[in-house]
């Protein structure tokens, strides 16, 4: 909840409910104005900066010694100071105990699927990794109207939960003596229409690329 705003800040006022965003948006640079990127020239993740952009100084200290900012948000503190581009104003009626999880996991998977992969209605989608990001990606595929959503994960305990997010079929690579992409290609008569990789594993990235039809 915004406690106060600095000079020149017009988008926010005290009392506004916001979510801190570590990939901030200045709204002025070429990336912020593009519909295909939000890698802001000014506020893109910079773990080494540690200070405010306006004066190069920290807003935190203990016993007179400065404490540096962390990825533009410093959310391990009860109060923080951030650049206005590093917060997103949200509906004041949104329950804070629910929206607090709408950060790296939900928005990443949902956004990657709906805004980048853009599966068409009735299409097939493979989701690699069924953690928070993968479940959100599956939800995005479900919202888009995909008819087959194939979840791929090494942990079979995740399969039941994934059904709630639209996953219709499951592949555990451990269950087969051939690569997951070959299994998926056979299941789908040549491969899926879209795949979304949500693990960060290079091997999974290869599988996700190769399981898409020609």
Q: Quick check: 22 pLDDT over 90?
A: no
Dump pLDDT digits (tens) for 129-184.
Answer: 999 999 999 999 999 999 999 999 999 999 999 999 999 999 999 999 999 999 99
Domains defined along the chain, listed by start: 1-94 (3.90.180.10), 106-211 (3.40.50.720)
Dump pLDDT digits (tens) for 29-56.
Answer: 999 999 877 789 988 877 678 999 889 9
94 vs 20: CA distance, rounded Å: 15
With pLDDT > 70 as the criterion, what percentage of the chain qualifies?
A: 99
27 vs 38: CA distance, rounded Å: 9
pLDDT of residue 71: 87
Got the DSSP string for the chain? ------TT--S--TT--EEE-SS---SSSHHHH-SS----TTTS--TTT-S-TTTS--SEEETTEEE---TTT-TTSSS----GGGEEE--TTS-HHHHTTTTTTHHHHHHIIIIII-PPTT-EEEEE--SHHHHHHHHHHHHHT-SEEEEE-S-TTHHHHHHTTT--EEE-GGG-SS-HHHHHHHHTTS-BSEEEE-S--HHHHHHHHHTB--
3-12, 18-27, 62-71, 183-192: the lowest-pLDDT one? 18-27
For residue 125, list its beta bridge partners: 149, 194
Mean pLDDT of 82-99: 92
pLDDT of residue 112: 93
Mean pLDDT of 179-196: 97
Burial of 82 (C-beta count, 10 Å sphere; 0-12/13-18/19+):
buried
């Amino acid at each position: 909840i915004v406690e106060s705003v600095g000079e020149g800040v017009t988008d926010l006022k005290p009392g506004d409910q916001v979510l801190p965003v570590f990939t901030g948006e200045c709204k002025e640079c070429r990336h912020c104005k593009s519909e295909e990127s939000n890698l802001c020239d000014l506020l893109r993740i910079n773990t080494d900066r540690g200070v405010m952009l306006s004066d190069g100084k920290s807003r935190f200290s203990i016993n007179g010694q400065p404490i540096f900012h962390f990825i533009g948000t410093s959310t391990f503190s009860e109060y923080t100071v951030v650049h206005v581009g590093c917060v997103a104003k949200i509906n004041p009626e949104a329950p804070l105990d629910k929206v607090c999880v709408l950060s790296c996991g939900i928005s990443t998977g949902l956004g990657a699927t709906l805004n980048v992969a853009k599966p068409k209605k009735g299409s097939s989608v493979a989701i690699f990794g069924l953690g928070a990001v993968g479940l959100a990606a599956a939800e995005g595929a479900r919202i888009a109207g995909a008819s087959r959503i194939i979840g791929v994960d090494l942990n079979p305990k995740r399969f039941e939960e994934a059904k709630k997010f639209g996953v219709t079929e499951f592949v555990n690579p451990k269950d087969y003596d051939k690569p997951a992409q070959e299994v998926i290609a056979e299941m789908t008569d040549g491969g899926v229409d879209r795949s979304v990789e949500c693990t960060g594993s290079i091997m999974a990235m290869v599988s996700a690329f190769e399981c898409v039809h020609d």
